[in-house]
């Protein structure tokens, strides 16, 4: 998805007309329509004005672009499991989609989780507390 598509989808979800958003953004409906269709370029200032007219931050428009992008789409485990198989394969497939920096963060988190798991299994007091919480 491109930014123009994100603008259009957001505008339509708000049941706002091209004219209403264009007027609030200080442009005309034809100009906004061309931006939404990707037929015309835009300045960062224009995107800010459009976002303000839509009553949301610019970042949420770009977030929508990323979320709808196939590279960033998070596939629910039940959908992926039929195609991929094991939990390890699912984890690896998702890990591969992250940047190297975020991959390192995930691995650090897993290491921390493993340490906590080992500690909670060997610490009788923590084990009793965990059992009590689970009985809840």
Domain spans in the chain, listed from the N-terminal domain onward: 3-68, 78-135
The per-residue pLDDT for range 59-78, each reduced to its tens digit, is 888 888 877 665 555 555 55
Residue environment code for 98-125, b if the CB has 16+ CB neighbours within 10 A, otherwise e:
eeeeeeeeeeeeeeeeeeeeeeeeeeee
**pLDDT value at position 110?**
85
Whether residue 103 has pLDDT greater than 60: yes
The mean per-residue pLDDT over the stretch 83-96 comes to 73
More confident residue, 15 or 95: 15
Using CA atoms, how far apart are residues 107 and 36, in angstroms rounded to an integer? 40
Which CATH number does 3-68 carry? Answer: 1.10.260.40
pTM for the model stands at: 0.52
127 and 121 Cβ atoms separated by less than 8 Å: yes
CA within 13 Å, CB half, 56: 15
Average pLDDT in the 101-119 region?
A: 83
Q: What is the mean pLDDT of residues 26-46?
A: 93
Average pLDDT over residues 83-93: 70
Distance of CA 37 to the CA centre of its chain: 23
- Return mean pLDDT, the chain: 81
Tokens of 92: 């690896």
Most confident of 52-56, 64-68, 86-90: 52-56
């Amino acid at each position: 998805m491109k930014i123009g598509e994100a603008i259009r989808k957001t505008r339509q979800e708000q049941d706002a007309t091209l004219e209403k958003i264009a007027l609030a953004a200080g442009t005309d409906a034809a100009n906004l329509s061309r931006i939404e269709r990707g037929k015309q370029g835009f300045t960062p200032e224009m995107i800010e004005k459009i976002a303000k007219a839509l009553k949301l931050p610019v970042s949420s428009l770009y977030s929508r672009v990323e979320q709808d992008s196939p590279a960033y789409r998070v596939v629910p485990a039940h959908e992926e499991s039929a195609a991929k198989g094991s939990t390890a394969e699912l984890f690896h497939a998702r890990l591969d989609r992250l940047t190297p920096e975020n991959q390192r963060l995930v691995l650090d988190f897993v290491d921390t989780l493993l340490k906590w798991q080992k500690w909670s299994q060997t610490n009788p007091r923590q084990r009793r507390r965990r059992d009590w919480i689970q009985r809840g």
